Chains A and B, each alone.
Chain A
Amino acid sequence: MKSIKSKLLLSHFFIILLVTSLFSTLFLYGAHRYYYQGAKEAFAERVDVLSAYYNKFINNETLREKATEIFQQLPSADYMSIQVLDLSGKVLMDAYGFEQKGSLSTPDIARAIQEGEGEWIGQSGQDGEHVMAHSYALYRGESAVGVVRFATSLAAIDRLYWEIVIATLTVSLGIIVASFMVSLFMSSRMVGPLLELRRVANAYIKGDFHVRSENRQRDEIAVLGQTMNVMAEEIQKTDKLKHEFISTVSHELRTPLTSIQGWSETLLTGDLQDKEELLDGLQTIRDEARRLNGMVNDLLDFSKLQAKHLEMHPTRWNVAELLSELKIQFSAHLEQTGVKMQTEYDDHVGTITADRNRVKQVLINLIDNAIKFSHKEGLVLLRAQRLERELVIEVIDEGEGIAPADLEKMMTKFFKGKSKQSGSGIGLALAKEIVELHGGSMSMASELHKGTMVTIRLPLDSQI
């Protein structure tokens, strides 16, 4: 497996190599063009003029006379040598004034004889000097009788260009080395945090959620680390809630079961003829079983809700009817607990489209809670109000209230508050889910020792 570090290094290296070689090639090409092309053009410009002058003013003579004449009219140019050659390439005149043995056969000469002028760059025969030569035909009348050849040495340009090449390569190499070092350092810095995240994630795999990412930077990796920290915190919280829930539920389930078990044993060992006691016992067993059933239903609903399997069956129904129904249903319970309940709604409250049973379930849950946490002689107010687009139902009690710290968590799953009251801790969460499934919202306001108000807002025409 290739590490990110080596991948980064490799790609940086190639990019730098590419860019550096591209730029140095371009630069060297430009320099080459500037010096060689520039020299060529400047040289050609000068010798063009000279050859034109020679052919114009030294016209009707023999080649030897031309050579002599050209020698008399040499320009004072220290950058070139001038020679006059015959058509076989033999050097007739050399501007230095010496007799030259042998003949020249570079391509510029043949070309000049053929086409009037020719140029050539190459190594000169005698000493391999890098030479640029321009040759021009010398005419007598219309025909070429010889060649005047201008030659200049490119040695100084070669030297300079070579220096430029060396310098460019050195700088390029330097840039490559320096960039490599920088990218080595940068990739180490980038990979370090990733390794730390892996360490943290490995700890989570082993179930240790206490480990935290320590990266305090502000880049993406650091943010990921912080997200992982939050995730670990959430997992820890949920874990804690789950544990509490399980113990609560077991406790809640055991209470009715203990009661049922107790009564059944009492009845089995007791006098079956004592009709009153028998009825009491059976009634308690039935009630406790109902309670158990209710709790199990809640749990089932909740798990369906979790799995998104909770189905809604919306119908159109009268809100006032449901409220009075609830009041009647709770009357026995109210009598038992000594809590009073009032309903408050006007005639315009009208109808709503929603799942009637689920809404009823929500309200039962809320009223049940309100009664549960009310003091004796306390008042529970059930109020409904029709607004333009929504129905607002409030359940208000004057009970213990909720501490501000708990209020936020109240509607999350498995949270039970500090009270020792019985309950699965999922009622409120379930109620909230149901309301939200209708497209509505549920909120809570409370003050410790003063009371609590739960507000449900349901759209009049919910799209379930």
Chain B
Amino acid sequence: MNLELNGDDMKISRVVTLVIMTGAMLLLGGCSLSSTPFQLLQAPAQSQQQSNIRQEVLQHLPPHSKLVIPDNGPYGATAIFIKDMMGDGQRQVIAFYANEADEFEHGYIVLGENNGEWEELDQVNVPSRGVDFFQLADLNGDGRNEIITGWKGGIRGRNELQIHSLNEQKKLELDGDMLYTKMLVTDLDGDNWPELFNLSWDSEKMVAEAALYEYRDGQLSKQTALDLDGAINGYAQVVTGRVSEQRQGIVIVADIGAHSSYTSMLIKEQGQLKDVLNADPLDPEFYNAQTTLSEDVNGDGILEIDRMKEPPGTEDLPYAEMPFIHEWLQWSEGGKLQPVMNSFYNFESSYRFDLPERWTSQVTLRYSGDNKESITFKPLLNHGVTLLEIKVVSMADKTRETEKWKQDGLQFVSLREGKDKWIVGIFPESLEQYAAAVKSLAISEKELARGFKDMKF
């Protein structure tokens, strides 16, 4: 068709041009079209308050400094703490830093809020190798928290403890300092007046001392002390918590030898520190063949200690093949150690299995497989019955193994399925044909699932 441009065409082409121009302008108006997708990524939005505080903190850090996290303390892995130090409802910010240009310079700054603005109150600079410890506690009972900080020293594992408080002018005052190896804020006499527990170990002289300090009237003073065995490799654990219904205590796990350890449990009795597990703290006898840590394993709020023991019926096994039972003990006021639970640990696959209570002294354990992939639980009375097998199966073998168990008439419960490992509990369909004593040991799927725990570090 022969298209002549008349008036109408002109009008239309003008409209088309207008539309295209508008579209192009809209498109290009975005202006970020030239950015690559990656350049458009942003950090997720922080809360306004946090970002203000962070801004302020970073501004007031000494040059070449960066934020660091104290190694120990009751709080999370945090570098900036927002806490009410004065107990007056006003919050302060405490932020720890390290000077990247000088490895011996560490410290912290304190910010206060003034009319909604955060401003620096004071700064503490400690020549040290790092921040070991941080806790706020009202040590002297004046209603204000003291800042208790530990600073890593050099040789012999000696660290420096400092206690600071904010004075009326909102400036930091050094109230006391001392050297320590491990530091805890605790309340062993239960008077709601916290003490400082100072564990000092001289690795050179092979001496160790546990001491309780109190901070009164601006003075740090030693209340009591107990000499401990100093011929150790170090401390695997120093922890405070309730050790019985009424009492706070301290559990210390000291490494000795290649990978064995001994455990001490300190309480304060008649104003004196006392190791309730070892009659003579300088010659402790509460040994474990492997280093085992204490924890509140049954969740009753009381720390249990771990004692490794050989299961019954394994007297003939060499050490390397010994499937140790971890017996969790609770201390009681009379000095008796009460077993509360038996567990089997697989550190390789990081799981724990808590044995049913009725299995105590009734069941023996045996590893099987080239790399101890399996642990089997059998009645002492009848080694021909397998009550339970917990097996680590590689994912590649999953189908084959499953088929096999089905053929053998076994039940199985998936306990944990990982990227290339599958942990599974296998147990017989029924034990009806066996004697009542064996039958009563049968484990249910529920018990198995309840007993299986992922290890947490």
Contact = CB atoms under 8 A, between A and B. Distances in A.
Q: Decide whether A and B are members of one complex.
A: yes
Interface of A: 34-39, 42-43, 62-65, 67-68, 71-72, 78-81, 84, 86-87, 91-94, 96-100, 114-116, 124, 126-127, 129, 131-132, 140-146, 151-157, 160, 163-164, 166-168, 170-171, 173-175, 177-178, 181-182, 185, 189, 217-219
B80 A98 contact: yes
Top 8 nearest A-B pairs (CB, nearest first) are A174-B19, A143-B350, A171-B23, A38-B37, A97-B79, A42-B38, A67-B77, A93-B77
A39 B37 contact: yes
Contact of A155 (B9, B24, B42): B42
B23 A99 contact: no
Contacts, number: 191
B419 A178 contact: no
Contact of A96 (B9, B50, B69, B82): B50
A216 B54 CA distance: 83
Contact of A140 (B23, B37, B78, B457): B457
A81 B50 CA distance: 14
A167 B21 CA distance: 11
Interface string B19-61: 1101110110110110111101111111100110110010000
B419 A114 contact: yes
Contacts of B38: 38-39, 42-43, 79
Contacts of B454: 87
Contact of B456 (A36, A37, A86): A86
Contacts of A171: 19-20, 22-24, 26-27
Interface of B: 1-2, 8-9, 12, 15-16, 19-20, 22-24, 26-27, 29-30, 32-33, 35-38, 40-47, 50-51, 53-54, 57, 67-69, 71, 75-82, 95, 347-350, 417-419, 454-457
9 contacts: A42-B41, A92-B76, A93-B78, A96-B50, A96-B54, A160-B40, A166-B26, A167-B26, A185-B12
A97 B95 contact: yes
Nearest to A62: B457
A160 B457 CA distance: 43
Contacts of B40: 35, 39, 156-157, 160
Contact of A68 (B23, B33, B41, B71): B71
Given A92-B76, A171-B19, A177-B15, 12 more contacts: A68-B71, A94-B78, A114-B419, A115-B418, A115-B419, A132-B41, A140-B350, A153-B43, A160-B30, A160-B32, A173-B19, A181-B15
A167 B27 contact: yes
Contacts of B24: 171
B8 A163 contact: no
Contacts of A189: 1
A96 B32 CA distance: 27
A86 B454 CA distance: 12
Contacts of A163: 26-27, 29-30
Given A114-B418, A115-B419, A177-B19, A80 B457 contact: no
B41 A80 contact: yes
Q: A98, A99, A163, A217: which has the most chain B beta carbons within 10 Å?
A: A98
A86 B1 CA distance: 75
B417 A114 contact: yes
A218 B27 CA distance: 43
Contact of A97 (B12, B22, B35, B78): B78
A219 B1 contact: yes
B332 to A, nearest CB: 30
Contacts of A141: 347-348, 350
Contacts of B46: 81, 96
Contact of A35 (B27, B37, B77, B80): B37
A79 B419 contact: no
B122 to A, nearest CB: 19
Nearest to B38: A42
A175 B22 CA distance: 12
A166 B29 CA distance: 12
A174 B18 CA distance: 9
Contacts of B51: 96
A78 B67 CA distance: 16
Contact of B348 (A38, A94, A142, A173): A142
A146 B457 CA distance: 8
A146 to B, nearest CB: 8
Contacts of B57: 97
A131 B77 contact: no
A94 B80 CA distance: 10
A360 B8 CA distance: 70
Nearest to A162: B30
Contacts of A62: 457
Contact of A124 (B19, B44, B47, B419): B44
Nearest to A100: B76
B45 A129 contact: yes
Contacts of B77: 64, 67-68, 71, 84, 92-93
Contacts of A181: 12, 15
B261 to A, nearest CB: 16
Contact of A81 (B36, B43, B82): B43
A45 to B, nearest CB: 9
Contacts of A178: 12, 15-16, 19
A128 B57 CA distance: 27
Contacts of B69: 67-68, 71-72, 93, 97
Given A114-B419, A219-B2, A170 B68 contact: no
A109 B168 CA distance: 46
Contacts of B9: 185
Given A38-B37, A93-B77, A145-B457, A170 B45 contact: no
A39 B417 contact: no
B67 A97 contact: yes
A38 B37 CA distance: 6
B42 A153 contact: yes
A172 B20 CA distance: 9
A151 B44 CA distance: 7
Contacts of B68: 68, 71-72
Contacts of A156: 32, 40-42
A63 B77 CA distance: 10
B456 A143 contact: no
Contacts of A218: 2
A98 B350 contact: no
A84 to B, nearest CB: 7
Q: Which of A65, A67, A142 has the most CB of B within 10 A?
A: A142
Given A174-B23, A177-B19, A160 B350 contact: no
A160 B33 contact: yes
A168 B26 CA distance: 9
A217 B4 CA distance: 11
B41 A43 contact: yes
B19 to A, nearest CB: 3
A62 B33 CA distance: 45
A144 B421 CA distance: 12
Contacts of B71: 65, 68
A39 B41 contact: yes
A140 B348 CA distance: 10
